[in-house]
């Protein structure tokens, strides 16, 4: 049976203007009511969202799929039992809500980006109970729309998608009667136009020596029947030496995909090189989309289906991004869409949302800011669907190895009229960033260079806005913290920026190795795992007094920074600081003011494996400070010229032809 969300709306039978009832297929005459039913049944309904539940780790991720807080206060395990990936049993006299990240329907995004103006909820239920449909506003206020008691049946609700400009979701709750009730399955369906053709995607996975993770991705994609409906090919670009094809279980996973699976081996060209290869493969085939997946992410397979179907109905070719959930804290959403601040060429969360939202602590229903429509400038390539039409028009990734390639691509697409939508309910689990500090790795070179290149290409603020100053102050901060290796890499990054865009493809195969070697020349890069091999800590007189306190206001911070700078420039390091470290500083506590009055320290690594011995060197401070001043003055002066040079060169170095030339060269060893 069909239940309308608006009981006051006029019925379609009252608007029929046919002069007489036409003959039906059986040769009899139909009434207006029967004729409306025939028309409705002939509509092409397409499922765009399946209601899903976790296959494993229920306690860790339950808050992303099921909410019991809107019912009787039951806890997971007390109110329901997950039967399978599509089905949930609700215990007698209990109630559960699907107002959750993975099961609420993102009506606002559908209204914004598609011509869809109605959605049908189809739920098959067993037992007796009540199913209730709700909608939310952009303020997060929930309204009950319709409800239906059920007894072993399929229930349908037709719902308008017309009042969600500022934000909002649809969802439904299930309450069991005096005995258990089971949701067998539920789907959100939309009507497809008569000329609608379903799109298919090439899933592109790039991997480097993470074969077990990559195999898990292949298995997750291959074993889901709904994914197969939208799947054209799976292209795995293996850039490592520990091959995914050598893993136990690979043959079985490959057999499940058959000729849809392609394994391509190539030298390590970073994420941009691996994903560009997958993009190129999709252009050589018939796929409407390429869907990029990180090798070390864990997929919710339903998210792949949702991304493809949303793109199918988008009014213009649209990049559809997935959110990133923390792999080590699985109910936490790192981000669902970000903005790019062209004044500093850096990212920030969309709207009023913040990074690291924990749905276990703050469910969707009780978090108003998540109900607002959030625009986005880009989406990370941990999961991102790109129409092949966009690739044909604007080219492939910028050849930058890693970092900022995803940001730059979406900004370039936007300038050509192709938006990015970070769709709620679409996400993967990925290793979080809180155990990483790029300034303490070789990645700092690529982050800094690519940030500046992205600014040159897409910042329309005079002289790059705050970027040159922001970059210079970043150098000062690192110098205060005795991280000379990071400053050296940042200077190398700026020097390479000045060399222009044409050299970016040429650097791709070799630059990582050069940067790794360059970084090893500095003592702060060397991590010692055996703490006992290091000399004991001997605290200086200042350290014995407790050191310097954190500045409590901007004026105090400026005064302390001036003092630290003067000390590091004018006073030679104490000889004893080279024989014994003066303090131990944990990775999470590493800030510039903690080094204000010391000349050396043992600093733990972010992953907890070991420590690095940071040592102050006045000569290095002098040399790097003056170099930083020269480089940043040059960057500000030449910004306009460099921006023109990169704007002119970018189409050439991102073209499929240039990438194909690069792939051929690295495969042949040239």
Question: For 577-629, how does the pLDDT look when each residue is reduced to its tens digit (9 = 90+)?
Answer: 999 999 999 998 999 999 999 999 999 998 889 999 999 999 999 999 999 99
**Per-residue model confidence (pLDDT) at position 176:** 96
Of 14 and 394, the structure prediction assigns the larger pLDDT to: 394
**Per-residue model confidence (pLDDT) at position 60:** 87
**Per-residue model confidence (pLDDT) at position 17:** 27
Backbone angles phi, psi at 165, to 5 degrees: -55, -45
Last residue of a domain, one of 157, 173, 192: 192
Whether 409 and 546 map to the same domain: the answer is: no
Give the list of residues 6+ apart from residue 40 with CB closer than 8 angstroms, or none: none
Q: Are the CB atoms for 33 and 283 separated by under 8 Å?
A: no
**Per-residue model confidence (pLDDT) at position 633:** 98
Of 337 and 362, the structure prediction assigns the larger pLDDT to: 362
**Per-residue model confidence (pLDDT) at position 670:** 64
**Per-residue model confidence (pLDDT) at position 321:** 97
**Per-residue model confidence (pLDDT) at position 413:** 98
Give a three-class secondary structure readout of 452-484: HHHHHHHCCCHHHCCHHHHHHHHHHHHHHCCCH
d(CA 40, CA 38): 5
Whether 392 and 454 map to the same domain: the answer is: no
Please name every residue paired with 136 in a beta bridge, in sequence order, or none if there are none.
142
Whether 560 and 502 map to the same domain: the answer is: yes
Residue 640 domain-assigned?
no
The crossing angle, in degrees rounded to 10, of helices 511-519 and 484-498 is: 150
Query: Which of the 8 DSSP states describes residue 187?
Result: E
- Average pLDDT over every residue of 455-470: 95
Residue 126: pLDDT band (50, 70, 90) is very high
The rounded Cα 269 to chain-centroid distance in angstroms is 21
Q: How many domains does the chain have?
A: 3
The kind and range of the H/E element at 80 are strand 80-82
**Per-residue model confidence (pLDDT) at position 56:** 67
Q: Are the CB atoms for 290 and 204 separated by under 8 Å?
A: yes
d(CA 387, CA 229): 17
Query: Which of the 8 DSSP states describes residue 520?
Result: T
Residue 58 domain-assigned?
yes
**Per-residue model confidence (pLDDT) at position 563:** 94
Quick check: 342 pLDDT over 50?
Answer: yes
The crossing angle, in degrees rounded to 10, of helices 618-653 and 443-458 is: 50
The crossing angle, in degrees rounded to 10, of helices 270-284 and 405-415 is: 50
Whether 113 and 254 map to the same domain: the answer is: no
- Average pLDDT over every residue of 335-347: 93
Whether 396 and 482 map to the same domain: the answer is: no
Of 13-22, 57-66, 108-117, give the lowest mean pLDDT range. 13-22
**Per-residue model confidence (pLDDT) at position 29:** 38
Computed over every residue of the chain, the mean pLDDT equals: 90
Percent helix, strand, coil in the chain, to 5, is 40, 25, 35
**Per-residue model confidence (pLDDT) at position 371:** 95
d(CA 570, CA 564): 10
Quick check: 47 pLDDT over 90?
Answer: yes
d(CA 490, CA 445): 5
Residue 30 domain-assigned?
no
- Average pLDDT over every residue of 340-361: 90
d(CA 103, CA 96): 12
Whether 73 and 205 map to the same domain: the answer is: no
**Per-residue model confidence (pLDDT) at position 40:** 54
Whether 510 and 478 map to the same domain: the answer is: yes
Tell me the per-residue pLDDT of 200-259, one tens digit each, with 9 for 90 and over: 999 999 999 999 999 999 999 999 999 999 999 999 999 999 999 999 999 999 999 999
Tokens (6 digits) for 392: 């044909």
Q: What percent of the chain has pLDDT over 70?
A: 91
Query: Which of the 8 DSSP states describes residue 75?
Result: P
Whether 492 and 414 map to the same domain: the answer is: no
Q: Which of 153, 183, 156 is nearest to 3 (CA)?
A: 156
- Average pLDDT over every residue of 91-116: 97
Q: Are the CB atoms for 102 and 119 separated by under 8 Å?
A: no
Residues annotated as catalytic (active site), given as ranges: 406
**Per-residue model confidence (pLDDT) at position 432:** 83
Segments in 361-404 forming alpha helices (H): 388-394
Residue 12: pLDDT band (50, 70, 90) is very low
Whether 252 and 174 map to the same domain: the answer is: no
**Per-residue model confidence (pLDDT) at position 186:** 98
- Average pLDDT over every residue of 387-391: 98
Q: Are the CB atoms for 452 and 467 separated by under 8 Å?
A: yes
A 10 A CB-CB count for 209 gives: 15
**Per-residue model confidence (pLDDT) at position 351:** 75
Tell me the per-residue pLDDT of 251-281, one tens digit each, with 9 for 90 and over: 999 999 999 999 999 999 999 999 999 999 9
Structural domain boundaries enclosing 214: 201-337+376-430
Quick check: 15 pLDDT over 80?
Answer: no
Place of tokens 């690192």: 478
Task: Report the CATH number that the domain containing residue 51 is assigned in CATH.
Answer: 3.90.550.60
**Per-residue model confidence (pLDDT) at position 201:** 98
Residue 354: pLDDT band (50, 70, 90) is confident
d(CA 217, CA 194): 35
**Per-residue model confidence (pLDDT) at position 25:** 33
Residue 133 domain-assigned?
yes
Quick check: 145 pLDDT over 70?
Answer: yes
Tokens (6 digits) for 95: 């109630």
Of 433 and 571, the structure prediction assigns the larger pLDDT to: 571
Residue 19 domain-assigned?
no
Of 338 and 11, the structure prediction assigns the larger pLDDT to: 338
Whether 280 and 159 map to the same domain: the answer is: no
**Per-residue model confidence (pLDDT) at position 42:** 60
Quick check: 50 pLDDT over 90?
Answer: yes
Q: Are the CB atoms for 639 and 456 separated by under 8 Å?
A: yes
Tokens (6 digits) for 325: 């959930």
Whether 330 and 283 map to the same domain: the answer is: yes
Whether 393 and 281 map to the same domain: the answer is: yes
Q: What percent of the chain has pLDDT over 90?
A: 83
Residue 16: pLDDT band (50, 70, 90) is very low
Q: Are the CB atoms for 421 and 318 separated by under 8 Å?
A: yes
């Amino acid at each position: 049976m069909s239940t309308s969300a608006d009981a006051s709306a006029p019925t379609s039978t009252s608007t029929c203007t046919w002069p007489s009832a036409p003959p039906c297929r059986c040769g009899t005459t139909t009434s207006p009511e029967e004729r409306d039913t025939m028309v409705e049944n002939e509509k092409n309904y397409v499922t765009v969202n399946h209601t899903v539940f976790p296959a494993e780790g229920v306690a860790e991720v339950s808050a992303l799929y099921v909410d019991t807080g809107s019912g009787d206060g039951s806890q997971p395990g007390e109110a329901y039992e997950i039967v399978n990936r599509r089905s949930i049993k609700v215990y007698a006299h209990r109630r559960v809500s699907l107002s959750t990240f993975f099961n609420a329907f993102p009506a606002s995004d559908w209204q914004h980006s598609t011509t869809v103006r109605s959605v049908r909820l189809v739920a098959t239920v067993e037992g007796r109970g009540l199913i209730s449909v709700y909608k939310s506003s952009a303020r997060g206020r929930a309204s009950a729309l319709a409800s239906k008691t059920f007894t072993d049946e399929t229930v349908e609700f037709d719902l308008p998608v017309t009042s969600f400009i500022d934000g909002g979701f649809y969802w439904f709750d299930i309450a069991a009667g005096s005995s258990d009730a089971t949701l067998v399955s539920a789907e959100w369906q939309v009507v497809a136009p008569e000329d609608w053709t379903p799109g298919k995607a090439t899933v592109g996975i790039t991997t480097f020596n993470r074969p077990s993770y990559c195999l898990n991705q292949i298995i997750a994609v291959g074993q889901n029947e709904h994914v197969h409906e939208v799947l054209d090919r799976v292209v795995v670009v293996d850039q490592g030496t520990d091959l995914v094809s050598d893993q136990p279980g690979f043959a079985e996973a490959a057999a499940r995909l058959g000729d849809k699976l392609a394994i391509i081996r190539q030298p390590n060209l970073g994420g941009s090189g691996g994903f560009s290869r997958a993009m190129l493969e999709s252009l050589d085939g018939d796929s409407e989309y390429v869907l990029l997946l990180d090798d070390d992410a864990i997929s919710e397979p339903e998210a792949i289906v949702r991304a493809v179907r949303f793109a199918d109905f988008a009014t213009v070719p649209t990049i559809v991004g997935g959110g990133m959930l923390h792999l080590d804290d699985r109910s936490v959403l790192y981000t669902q869409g970000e903005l790019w601040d062209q004044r500093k060429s850096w990212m920030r969360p969309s709207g009023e949302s913040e990074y690291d939202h924990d749905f276990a602590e703050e469910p969707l229903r009780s978090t108003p800011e998540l109900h607002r429509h959030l625009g986005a400038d880009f989406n990370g390539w941990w999961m991102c669907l790109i129409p092949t039409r966009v690739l044909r028009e604007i080219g492939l990734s910028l050849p930058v190895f890693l970092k900022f390639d995803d940001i730059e691509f979406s900004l370039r697409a936007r300038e050509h009229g192709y938006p990015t939508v970070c769709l709620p309910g679409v996400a993967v689990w990925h290793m979080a960033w809180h155990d990483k500090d790029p300034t303490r790795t070789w990645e700092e070179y690529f982050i800094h260079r690519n940030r500046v290149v992205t600014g040159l290409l897409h910042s329309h603020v005079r002289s790059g806005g705050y970027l040159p100053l922001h970059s210079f102050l970043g150098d000062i901060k690192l110098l205060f913290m005795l991280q000379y290796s990071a400053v050296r890499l940042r200077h190398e990054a700026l020097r390479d920026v000045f060399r222009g865009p044409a050299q970016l493809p040429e650097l791709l195969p070799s630059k990582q190795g050069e940067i790794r070697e360059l970084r090893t020349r500095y003592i702060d890069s060397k991590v010692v795992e055996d703490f006992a091999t290091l000399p004991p800590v001997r605290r200086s007189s200042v350290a014995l007094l407790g050191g310097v306190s954190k500045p409590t206001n901007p004026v105090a911070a400026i005064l302390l920074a001036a003092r630290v700078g003067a000390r590091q420039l004018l006073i030679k390091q104490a000889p004893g600081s080279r024989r014994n470290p003066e303090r131990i500083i944990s990775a999470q506590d590493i800030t510039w003011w903690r080094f204000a009055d010391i000349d050396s320290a043992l600093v733990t690594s972010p992953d907890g494996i070991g420590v690095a011995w940071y040592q102050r060197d006045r000569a290095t401070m002098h040399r790097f400070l003056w170099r930083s001043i020269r480089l940043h003055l040059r960057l500000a002066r030449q910004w306009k010229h460099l921006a023109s040079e990169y704007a002119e060169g970018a189409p050439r170095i991102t073209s499929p032809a240039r990438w194909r030339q690069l792939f051929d060269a690295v495969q042949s060893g040239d």
